[in-house]
Structure 1
Amino acid sequence: MTPSIQISDLQVRYGDTVALHDIALDLPGGKIYGLLGRNGAGKTTLLSAVAGFRKPSAGSVRLGGEPVFENPRNTTRICLITEGGGVGDSTDNLRDVLDMARMLRPGWDDKYAEELLERFALPRKKSLGALSRGQRSAFGVVVGLASRAPLTMFDEAHLGMDAPTRRLFLDELLRDYVATQRTFVISTHLIEEQSPVFERVLILHEGRVMLHEELDELRSRGVSVTGPSAVVDDFVFGLTVLGEERLGPTKRVMVYGTLAEDSVRAARTHGLELGPVALQDLFIHLTGGVA
């Protein structure tokens, strides 16, 4: 059974600066979490504390009921891949990094690592420093997936990858999730591209948890309205508009909030099309609009 994550009254300070304020979360295992937040919201600090890399200033992080910090049993069950890979020094050979990962991760899967190296077209005999930024990121993904750690976290691990490689990353993550049901946490600014794999969404804002919801529940907080411009404008008058798009005489407006049944009927009567709203639009609205 995949262990759950319990975060209780977690604080992390850097001198006089409080990066995380009393974070309290109970995250069931065996799910894919999307971790969102603006720059400086505390995402990387939270993941570092969950991975046991950083000692909490107050509170605790537990995996399966046991502490994470300075607990080898749990730290070997957690894998955090950071921006640009972050899995070794520039002079390290890829094969040496994989050998080290094998020693550190009890669930390491050699066969899967070899398959992933082929799929991402990575040269085994080169050093990390000889790889492009995108290749280093892809290699970090290989280490994270092949670790088969019950809790695997990716912190902007896609940086430098081109679009096809990012797609391969998400496809592989989803395929492995279906096979293993381990827990994944993905911290990303590519909200619309990566949100299709999320089951739950966490939003951090200024070091605090703003929201923790199922993806579908969050999406239900908004609706898009599409139709002739003048009709759409009349329909959305007085509603909270998140954004709009125009294509000739047609307009699509994203609004925040759910529509009452009579409003839904009125939309259909006037030939308007109702649909889901983009998660990115909701995120921008919830965290204070365009900076």
Structure 2
Amino acid sequence: MKNPTISVAGVTRRYGDVAALDDVSFTIEQPSIIGLLGRNGAGKTTLMALLTGQDRPTAGSIHVTGGDPFESARVQDDISFIRDNQRYPDDYQLKHALRIAPLFHPAWDAALAARLVEAFRLPAKTKVKKYSRGQLSALGVVISLASRAPITFLDEPYLGLDATARQHFYDVLIEDYSAHPRTIIASTHLIDEMAPLFEHVLVLDRGRLVLDRSADDLAGFAFTLSGVTTRVEPYLEGRDVLHSHEIGALSTVTVRGQAGRELVAAAGADGVDVRPASLQQIVSALGAGSLTDARAARPTTDLDASRATTV
């Protein structure tokens, strides 16, 4: 097994009586593109702050490229993190942001930065503080990708970007990652749009890690049954229901496990549609505990449950 790029062991971060992160543990191997997912308030921003050395855990340990990100200057050289609300000095223009970036990123690629600036049509003379939301996001993408940092964090990188600009970002991300493999951790709410990029997924809910799986393993993690509620219900008996959504007489239910052929055939004959759950549906189902405590005192976690067999 390779030495982990990131190792998180028993990490808790409390703010007073509130646990923003609760006993989180995982490792990440390089290279990989990881989706860091979850509802607002799930703990994603807190985790990114800890991984980038902007905060320290209340308990537990974090190692990034072999060192403590809070204490090691060497580790900081390996990290690129542009926040979704990144601030720049009031007098900064584009040239200033691009001039200072190489000071923090030893592997900076000026040619890639110039190509991305042109592709995103970033204005050179406008002060950065007057950039639109989309232009600020594009500048963040430019710096993040051109940094060529071994560990690159993307915090909601698409905010304000239109569909064309987002697709260009995804294309460049894959192209550059393929040529220069590294660990890229992306937090996003456009889950299904970015899902094809992810090689691994981490899902947080109420500060706990509820899913830690490779993208390949997600194919059999859950499935959905959709149709008239009275026809869906008989197929739920004895199954681990993660989430149920009803509109009038219709239901869509997310169930842990993989749907077997017999179930698909029988349910289909009753007018019930069965298909693998999308990543968005999985994340929504695992975060449903944040909306109601009706099912359990804490969310069902993939780490606590045994792997489901084919049903």
Query: Which bracket does the TM-score occupy, shorter chain normalised?
Result: 0.7 to 0.9
Measure how far apart 1:10 and its partner are.
1.8
Q: How far off is 1:206 after superposition?
A: 1.2
Q: Equivalents in 1 of 2:195, 2:144: separation in Å?
A: 19
Partner of 2:68: 67
Note the C-alpha offset of 1:269.
7.0
Question: What is the match of residue 20 of structure 1?
Answer: 21
Aligned to 1:163: 163
Distance 1:62 1:266, change over 3 A: same
Query: Quick one: which amino acid aligns to residue 215 of structure 1?
Result: A
SS of the residue corresponding to residue 149 of structure 1 reads coil
Identity %: 37
1:67 match: secondary structure: coil
Gaps of 5+ in 1: none
Q: Is the 8 A contact 1:201 1:212 kept in 2?
A: yes
Q: Do the aligned residues in 2 keep the contact of 1:87 with 1:97 (CA within 8 Å)?
A: no
In the alignment, is the contact (CA less than 8 A) between 2:33 and 2:184 conserved in 1? yes
> How far did 1:11 drift?
2.3
Query: Which whole-Å CA distance do the structure 1 matches of 2:41 and 2:199 have between them?
Result: 24
What is the CA distance between 1:261 and its match in structure 2?
Answer: 4.7
Q: How far does residue 129 in structure 1 lie from its aligned partner after superposition?
A: 1.2
Show CA shifts across 1:64-118 (max 9, x none): 222221211111110112114x152343111111111111110000000000001
Q: Residue 255 of structure 2 corresponds to which residue in structure 1? A: 256
The residue aligned with 1:106 is 106
Corresponding letter in the other structure for 1:172 = V
Q: Is the 8 A contact 1:205 1:287 kept in 2?
A: yes
8 Å contact 1:36–1:202 — kept in the other structure?
A: yes
The whole-number CA distance in structure 2 between the counterparts of 1:211 and 1:230 is: 28
CA distance in 1, matches of 2:229, 2:6: 50
Compute the displacement of 1:230 (Å).
9.7
Cα distance between partner residues in 2 of 1:288 and 1:132: 34
User: In angstroms, what is the RMSD of aligned CA positions?
Assistant: 2.8
Query: C-alpha distance in 2, partners of 1:281/1:183?
Result: 25
Matched with 1:143 is 143
**Does structure 2 retain, via aligned residues, the 8 Å contact 1:117–1:142?**
yes
| TM-score normalised by length of structure 1 | 0.86
Q: Which residue of 2 aligns with 1:7?
A: 8
Q: Render the CA deviation track for 1:115-164: whole Å, top value 9, x for unaligned.
A: 00011111223211121111001101100000000000111122222222
Aligned to 2:95: 95
Quick one: distance in 2 between partners of 1:206 and 1:90?
A: 36
Query: Aligned residues, how many?
Result: 285
